[in-house]
Structure 1
Amino acid sequence: MQCLRAIFPSKFALTFKPAKSELLSAKQQSSPPPTSMESLQIQGTILTPESGDAYAAALKRNSDLSSLPAKYVVQPAVFADIPPVLAYAASQKPPVEIAVKGGGAHSATWASSDGGIVIDLSKLNKVVLADDKQSISVQGGAYWGDVYEVTSKAQVDVVGSPLWFVGVGGFTLGGGFGPLTSEYGCAVDNLLSATVVLADGRIVKASKHEEPDLFWAIRGGGGQFGVVVEFVFKVYPPVGPISSGILAFPGTEIDKILAIIPEWKKTQTSRERFTMNFSRPAPHFKPSIAILPSVIHDTDGSRAQTVLAPFRDGDVKPVLDKVGSVPDMLTVSHAADAAMAAAPRRLVIRGTLFSDFFPELLKGVWDKWVAFTETSEEVRGSAVLWDLTLPDKMASVPAGETALKRQPYYWMAVQGRSTTDASVQACRDFTASVVQFVREKNAELAGQDMGWFLNMCQGHENPEDVFGENLTRLRKVKAKYDPTKVWSKGLVIEPLVE
């Protein structure tokens, strides 16, 4: 299991903290570019289609639809391996496309390249907790499972993903909404500093006091400004025990469930949250609603009993009620392993933001999802996810303090899963239509258009709909650090030269 890499760091990561020699200046990068990839003097590995199984393994992503046949896959062993790759790519005519792969969980092709170069950070995966347990340093190729292995052993916590196989890099650069966000804010709110390889080959530290414009941009602006090879996050005391599990209901109870949620939210605190899923579980594949709760600081389980009572003691009763105590986020992050292993790997994910859990909004999506998953067995693995994390802490950060938009909102995601190539386009069309419906219906009900959620975009969206009033500043930072658009995968931000 890849998350166990953190237990044996010496086997997988050949370096961690950047030595002075790795913080390279532009002057040090002024030597002639290499004439070929084969001539690069790097400590890491360069894979080509002729590399066989190793190359094939390096192309794999969370979704089979996200993999493209790169000409080269470079797996740096030290930070200084990356600048020569960038120099070579820039010297070609036309320049060679560069993609950066951290965890590879995104369902688009942002971490892949057809005929270009993929910088695969998988060997840069070391995680080190500071001696005072106040911060944790995480290399850019680590998964959150790698982080949780370390925090679990040390009995501390950090704001991260609910799933172990999500990469630290992409999750954080998009903002980082996780199970502890209601208590401690987003991942970007807990980022103390970062080490970034820039388009011109420099390796710099970014923080509120060093390269502050860059530090502002990478906190919610995505991977458009450099390769973040190290993150340093704030660490907290343990939030466990955590009450976690599942309450499952038949689809016939959808109206009752949706009526409970607005009342439930009135007493919600930062200690409890849940994810609600629309899915068709085996063996009967009937439409179902699953409430997946998470209650932190729940020493004896009594808090979970109280907050889940509305879903147990009223007119509606769960057909499956399995909620128990788990020690930490490492355990929580593996809760979906069995379901994920069985899910079709032709996966398209789209998502968006919404203002509130309006019953008519959710019911509209339910009806669309039920109708779509009844069209064919090939697409009945498709699902919808709604995240009910209290947004107050995230929204308390002043607007403009980070590139991440700041106002109260929630997020949702649509997973289009297909068992055949023939039905992939139907899944693409379905996911696109649902998120468009959510955006438009939310604007109608809330009187406010929330735009798109960066980490759930496909890349063709209007950047203004993602970044809002922060876009102009992001474009200026792009012009400062990447005027030639070396970083052109994902949601591309056009440089704005003043």
Structure 2
Amino acid sequence: MDNLKIQGTILTPDSGEAYTAALKRNSDLSSLPAKYVVQPAVYEDIPPVLAYATSQTPPIEIAVKGGGAHSSTWASSDGGIVIDLSKLNKVTLAEDKQSITVQGGAYWGDVYEVTSKAKVDVVGSPLWFVGVGGFTLGGGFGPLTAEHGTAVDNLISATVVLADGRIVRASHNEEPDLFWAIRGGGGQFGVVVEFVFKTHPPAGPISSGILAFPGTEIDKILAIIPEWKKTQTPRERFTMNFSRPAPHFKPSIAILPTVLHDADGSRAQAVFAPFRDGEVKPVLDKVGTVPDMLAASHAADASLATAPRRLAIRGTMFSDFFPELLKTVWDRWVAFTETSEEVRGSAVLWDLTVPDKMAEVPSDATALKRMPYYWMAVQGRSTTDASVQACKDFTESVVELVRKKNAELSGRDIGWFLNMCQGHEKPEDVFGDNYTRLRKVKAKYDPKKVWSKGIVIEPLVN
């Protein structure tokens, strides 16, 4: 490795603070001690690294790190090589402002810095620190999805470094099989070093904030949601959190609204009136307008800054906001977070974004599973090493409960949500009917399984 002639940086444990900083992830549970961390400066730095790793006996494991927000170890390697794309974070808006080119190591905050100044928007993450690469390859559900579809629905093309060292452009007309696969199939086909997305007119001003309720109101809140959904439009969505905020740490429900194109905040006031003016009253009502996604993506900064960093996340999809389903999870969460102060930072998130636009796309048009569904996530947060396993067990038990209960109530088993998996889930349950084609694409572009982190797709030779 030391003899590779690349323009970027190669870090080892002997590199001191630079190496330690390169191992840092959003969750402390996601970091593993790599033998080498390679930070490419140009796309051409990557093929020599792949050639070296694959020429060893046995081949050296390769992991790719974009933003590092996932709570698994997919972007880390114990004794292997991490290709850290952090130096490849350039964002370039086209002169006609109809598209934006984003390198694979960029955060969504880097993108929003550019779109904010240019007065355009792009389908991205609700949080600035999420990496563009992992978010997009898993499908990409964000605040603009109800209006414009997922991130992969807005992807025009991508530049991919393949396992054999070739650097190719993938689009509808170039490497179409590869383009199909990376739109929802994850990082199993190469290192995506560049994305080109469609842009849209600005979604701002955006109303956002928090409506918080005591846990004693859970039944009333859950009764409001089905009626509220009947008049919901693509302009408004919310995330509902089950959490225990300081200083009293009592079970609470937080509704975090997002209302697009809301210049004076009046739409947010009207739309969320059922959560203010009926039988329930929020104990905290702080909703205001921000100019754009740059500001909105920083809304959670204060709360995340103090959250325990031993974080295990699991999540899945569900068909509808069945009160019975949510109440069952509520009871399970309350009981778990009462067991110890060490785990009371754990939370459950439910995303309520109109799924119609995403589901309009034919099921075989991209690797992303298509049907009307919502997503939820369980955050197991521990303050001590001793409580980590309990949080991991809790997150796994809850998502399994949601999948089973949702299937009972809806008559449909949706499976797992790729970006909220941990790696041991069955690929058939993640990709559904698209798995066979993904296996064929894997055989074409990565027959030796150089990319073996995450939900591993087994090559299928025709």
State the TM-score, normalizing by the size of structure 2.
1.00
Structure-1 residue corresponding to 2:55: 91
Please state if 1:487 is matched with 2:451: yes
Alignment of 1:380-419 (within 5 A): 380-419=344-383
**Equivalent of 1:157 in 121, 126, 149:** 121
- Cα-to-partner distance string for 1:163-183 (whole Å, 9 max, x where unaligned): 000000000000000000000
Give the match for residue 235 of structure 2.
Answer: 271
**What's 1:189 paired with?**
153
| 1:24-63 matched pairs, under 5 angstroms | 37-63=1-27
Counterpart-to-counterpart distance in 1, 2:130 and 2:205: 23
Query: What's the secondary structure of 2:272's corresponding residue?
Result: helix
Aligned to 1:226: 190
Unpaired segments ≥5 residues, structure 2: none
Distance in 1 of aligned mates of 2:141 and 2:354: 11
Which residue is 2:166 aligned to? 202
Distance 2:397 2:135 in 1: 24
The 2-side partners of 1:186 and 1:490 are apart by 21
Deviation of residue 312 (structure 1)?
A: 0.4
**Pairs within 5 Å for 1:419-434:** 419-434=383-398
Structure 2: distance between partners of 1:184 and 1:325? 21
Equivalent position SS for 2:444: helix
Please give the per-residue CA displacement for 1:206-235, whole angstroms capped at 9, x wherever unaligned: 000000000000000000000000000000
**Which residue, 316, 330, 351 being the options, matches 1:366?**
330
Identity %: 86
Give the distance between the partners of 1:400 and 1:224, measured in 2 at CA: 18
Q: CA deviation at 1:301?
A: 1.5
Q: Distance in 1 between matches of 2:435 and 2:363?
A: 13
The DSSP-based 3-state class of the residue aligned with 1:194 is strand
Distance in 1 of aligned mates of 2:289 and 2:377: 27
Which moves more between the two structures, 143-152 or 294-303?
Answer: 294-303
Deviation at 1:138, TM superposition (A): 0.1
Runs of 4+ in 1 over 4 A off after TM superposition: none
Deviations 1:439-466, CA, capped at 9 Å, x for gaps: 0000000000010000000000000001
AA paired with 2:236?
Answer: E
Residue 46 of structure 2: aligned partner: 82
3-state SS, counterpart of residue 433 of structure 2: helix
CA distance in 1: counterparts of 2:196 and 2:293, whole angstroms: 19
Q: How many residues align?
A: 462
The letter of the residue matching 2:193 is V
Deviation at 1:300, TM superposition (A): 2.0
**Equivalent in the alignment of 1:120:** 84
Query: 2:107 and 2:420 mapped to 1: Cα distance?
Result: 18
Matched, 1:345 2:309: yes
What do residues 6-31 of structure 1 show as CA deviations (whole Å, max 9, x unaligned)?
Answer: xxxxxxxxxxxxxxxxxxxxxxxxxx
- Report how far residue 302 of structure 1 moved: 1.6
1:256-335 aligned at under 5 Å gives the runs: 256-335=220-299
Q: What is the CA–CA distance in structure 2 between the aligned matches of 1:70 and 1:300, rounded to whole Å?
A: 50
Q: Determine helix, strand or coil for the equivalent of 2:73.
A: coil
- Give the match for residue 65 of structure 1: 29
Task: State the shift of 1:71 in Å.
Answer: 0.1
User: Which amino acid letter does the alignment assign opposite residue 395 of structure 1?
Assistant: A
What amino acid maps onto 2:417 in structure 1? F
Match of 1:469 among 433, 436, 454: 433
- Equivalent in the alignment of 1:18: none
**Counterpart residue number, 1:442:** 406
2:66 to 98, 102, 106: 102
